[in-house]
Structure 1
Amino acid sequence: MAQTSTPEEPARPAPDPRRRSERARKAILAAAGELLGEVGYARLTMEAIAARARVGKQTIYRWWPTKAAVVFDVFTELTGGTAGEPLPDTGDLDADLRTVLHAIVDEYADPLMDRVNRAFIAEMQTDPELARSVADRLLLPNVRAFQDRLLAAREAGQLDAGTDPALAVDLLLAPVQQRWLMRSGELTHPYVDALVDTVLRALGPRG
């Protein structure tokens, strides 16, 4: 009897390690963000992150040497950018500030971002080393980005020549941060718009 040949099954493509690694990275960051909001920074452990993300602890250490490094990247992932990224400069200072502050308000309104931020800020009050790291790697670069944009506006004649960019940044950011931190009022786009209007009227060119 003649043997019939069976068609060979097409070879399955090999798993893409880059795709698998990206899935693991995102799972780790998501797990760290959830746990930070649940247990706080002090009680957060690499073991707990690995268990929540369903990866081996060595997988986490492949990318991050410490839990602080993981949490820094949680912030970056949540905000969708990098610390110190230049502010938009369309030539319209009012519109550029509204765009950035609207985005900040939207981040604060996100439940996960809110939990992560509050847990991190609470831990910074008792951990000076962590506070310095956050300031150096996150807060100060972002403040400098605001200062650079306001300095460019001053040089373009859109702000009074005597405007101090550092003080101007405080006028813009402090009310937003206080409203969020103290839950002292609604933090909305209309509030931000009114804040930008007030600050720019106060700092506008004189004469």
Structure 2
Amino acid sequence: MTEVGRRGPKRNEQARIAILQATSARVLENGYDQLTIEGVAADARVSKQTIYRWWPSRSALVAECLAERMLLTEFFVPEDSGDLRADVIRWLENIIGFLGSPGNSGLLRSLLIAATENTEVATHLNERLGMWEMLGERFTAAIEADQLPADTPLAELGDALMGALVVRDLRGAGFDNGFAKNLAILLLPA
């Protein structure tokens, strides 16, 4: 995260990396719901105060792990098999699978809260995990392969895909087996 406007001691880069690595390992091992600042501090060999001085919440900490590509990188960029709809379905199913796995039910909501409460977190996530990085290259390839019309509003298409995930998660409706396929059929041409 940017250090503009920060007060207090400057971050020690070695401690920052240790904290992010400990956070990533704990999320992957036990899920977001079991993530504790105490556990991260113990693993990183820093104090809880150090973590809270640099990150206002555990969701802000996870947001930085995501933005630094230290967590769940395999979910952010869809593959390019040549079949846009199939690639987007697999991408959505990967995200849904992670969100639905034990211990991760609160992750998406927590990231939304962190981004809402802290504009720096929101900006950092948007800059580093923006729709363009996640889907833009795949959509551009689809346009070049005539799988999408050249005038497709790519940002809006990405927003619609992610927005559907967010709204479904916020509603607590869960994701049935056909959700990813139905969404892709709705938003992407055959």
| TM-score between both structures, scaled by the size of structure 1 | 0.61
Q: Deviations over 1:119-155 (max 9, x none)?
A: 33223222222222222223x1x44331221121122
What letter is aligned with 1:179?
R
Partner residue of 2:103 out of 112, 130, 146: 112
Change (3 A) 1:95 1:127: same
Q: Deviations over 1:22-64 (max 9, x none)?
A: 9xx557741899797479xxxx75x66324x4x6318xx8xxx
Match of 1:73 in 2: 65
Answer yes or no: is 1:93 the counterpart of 2:81. no
Answer yes or no: is 1:30 the counterpart of 2:30. no
What letter is aligned with 1:104?
I
- Measured in 2, the distance between the counterparts of 1:197 and 1:115 equals 28
Match of 1:180 in 2: 169
The CA RMSD over aligned residues, in Å, is: 3.7
Cα drift, residue 176 of structure 1? 1.8
Cα drift, residue 70 of structure 1? 4.9
Cα drift, residue 107 of structure 1? 1.5
- More contact order relative to length (CA 8 Å, sep ≥ 6): 2
Contact persistence 2:78–2:91 (CA under 8 A): yes
Contact persistence 1:87–1:146 (CA under 8 A): yes
Answer yes or no: is 1:164 the counterpart of 2:153. yes
Cα drift, residue 106 of structure 1? 0.7
Structure 1 gaps, min length 5:
1-21
Change (3 A) 1:149 1:87: same
Structure 2 gaps, min length 5:
1-17
Count of residue pairs brought into register by the alignment: 162
- Measured in 1, the distance between the counterparts of 2:96 and 2:90 equals 10
